[in-house]
Amino acid sequence: MRPAYSPTPTSPSKFRPKDPLGSSSTSPSTSASAQRRLNALSPRPLTALRARPIPNSYWATPLLLACEYPWTPKNPHKPKLDALLRAGVRTFIDLTEAGELMAYAGVLCARAALLGIDTAEIEYHRFPIRDRSLPESLEHMYGVLDVLRDNEARGRVSAVHCRGGIGRTGMVIGCWLVDSGHAKDGEEALGIIAREWQTVEKCTRYPHSPETGSQFEYVLNFHPKGATAPL
C-alpha cells in the first residue's frame, strides 16, 4: 500500500461563508426546500446506470464513489470494504478525524489480499475534517482534490467518505465536480449531488447532501486553484 498523502500544514482558513440556508443549524424543512430547488437541475442519476457497491453510496463520476464509512467490524459477514474493492475502488480518501470511528487502514490490504487484489494497488489517504464543519483551510481542500486529480489521470477508481457520507463527503464531492470541470460551477455541482443523493438508501432520513448550510455555501463559492475569483 502506498503511503498516505500528507498535505502541507497550513494555518486555519479565515473563510467562513454566510450560511445560504440560514445557519449550520438550518431547519430540515428549509434545507429540504433548498434541495428541491437543486433537484430541478438534475437529469438522470449516474447511479441508475451503474450498480452501487453498498446501499449508502453513489457514483459522482465514473471514477469517483461517494459513500458512508466503509468499515463495520461488528458485521464481519458483509464487509463494506470488500464491496468497494470488488467495485474497483483502489484509492480510499477518509475525511473522518483520528479516533472518530474504528480505523480500517490497517486491515485494508488484508481485505484486498483475500480478494486476490495486488496490495501494491491500494492507496489510503486521510484528510480529517470535523463533523458538520468546513476544512481548516482552502489548502486542505486543495490537498484532497490533488489526490483525486492524480487518481483520475491514472484511470483509478477512488472512494471519498466521512462518517455518514452526507456532509463532509458531499462538500468534497461538490468541490471536485467544479475543480474537474464535471460541473461549471457550485450550483450545478450541488444539483448533480442532489440527483445522485436521491438514489441512496438513507435519503428519506437525511434528505440533502451536504449536511449544513455552510457546507452548501462552501461549494457554491468554490473556485479551482488559480481561478480569478478565489474564495
Task: Give tens-digit pLDDT for 50-109.
Answer: 899 999 999 999 999 999 999 988 876 678 999 999 999 999 999 999 999 999 999 999
CA distances in angstroms from 20 to 12, 150, 151, 197, listed in the order given: 22, 32, 32, 19
Residue 146 belongs to domain spanning: 28-220
Query: Do 191 and 42 contact (CB within 8 A), yes or no?
Result: yes
pLDDT band with cut points at 50, 70 and 90 for residue 175: very high
Query: Do 213 and 26 contact (CB within 8 A), yes or no?
Result: yes
Into how many domains does the chain fold? Answer: 1
Q: What percent of the chain has pLDDT over 70?
A: 78
**Residue 22 belongs to some domain of the structure:** no
* Mean pLDDT confidence for 11-36: 39
The model carries a pTM of 0.80
Cα–Cα–Cα angle for 16, 21, 27, rounded to 5 degrees: 120
Task: Give tens-digit pLDDT for 93-119.
Answer: 999 999 999 999 999 999 999 999 999
**Residue 23 belongs to some domain of the structure:** no
* CATH number, position 48: 3.90.190.10
**Residue 125 belongs to some domain of the structure:** yes
Query: Do 190 and 222 contact (CB within 8 A), yes or no?
Result: no
Cα–Cα–Cα angle for 10, 217, 134, rounded to 5 degrees: 35
Max CA distance (Å), the chain: 50
Task: Give tens-digit pLDDT for 112-162.
Answer: 999 999 999 999 999 999 999 999 999 999 999 999 999 999 999 999 999
Tell me the C-alpha distance between 64 and 58, whole Å: 9
Strands 89-94 and 123-126: parallel
**Residue 105 belongs to some domain of the structure:** yes
pLDDT at 31: 42
Q: Which of 124, 227, 133 is nearest to 172 (CA)?
A: 133
Alpha helices in 91-212 (DSSP H): 105-114, 138-153, 167-179, 186-197
Task: Give tens-digit pLDDT for 176-223.
Answer: 999 999 999 999 999 999 999 999 999 999 999 999 999 999 999 999
More confident residue, 139 or 21: 139
**Residue 3 belongs to some domain of the structure:** no
105-109's contacts with Cβ under 8 Å and 24+ in sequence apart are 105/4, 107/71, 107/81, 108/1, 108/81, 109/1
